[in-house]
Structure 1
Amino acid sequence: MRRLQYLVLFAVVCCGLAGGGSFAATDRFYRVVDGKADARTYNGYRRYNAGCNHCHGPDGIGSSFASSLVARPLGIEEFRRVVRNGRSSGGTSVMKGFGDDPNFAPYIDDIYAYLQARAEGALGRGRPQRLEP
């Protein structure tokens, strides 16, 4: 009987992981279901494309002068600090801070949600579809 219980538990876990395409774990800032993004993540996409993509490339993949934001994502606290205060690599690479910019400062977590979804493969390239509320 115990073997049957383990088999049932295994089947439930596998079906839960494989079917549904939902990325909504509690440690994630985003919620993506069947390729559709929640409002926060969708807004992050919009905000990212309003300013970040000019340096960090389309979809966060990086460019010749700014790093990828999806290949090696930062933790949320470091991301917030860098976006607010900026960063200098000590060389010629400099990112200005956006802590006083009303178009970005209030939306740092939204941008992070979008980039986290991209980094974890929950969202592909391009404009995501939006989940209906």
Structure 2
Amino acid sequence: MRGDNIHGQGRIQAAPCAFNVGNQTSTIETLTGTNFKRWKEDIEIQLGLMDLDIALHENEPPKPTVRSSIEEKARYEKWGRANRLSLMIMKRSISHTLIGAISKTENAKKFFDDIAEKYKSSEKADAGELMNMLT
């Protein structure tokens, strides 16, 4: 076969790849209120593997105009897709009893940061309560 691929052209081509978001996100532990650190790690890993984590680390780029370059338009589209999918994945991985207590936003970074802030405050209160019990 002399290195020919399935098309007989002698060069390697990328094979089509089916990506099942359900399979990827099934490894994210549902946020129940007591497992924030684990949930946060799961979200960061999965969004990183799916190349969606730009929505968590970058602010929304400026909306393209007719004068915007192809690269600027592509960056905006990539961020928008990452933002939408990240929000869906995060919301899907949060217990229904908790989702109502989280701010309504269409920005994945803000949503993620709001959850982190809520649990940061909660962890401080828990640590303070534990210290009071120990003293």
TM-score normalised to structure 1 length: 0.22
Greater strand percent: which structure? 1
Normalising by structure 2, report the TM-score.
0.21
Larger Rg: 2
Structure holding more helix per residue: 2
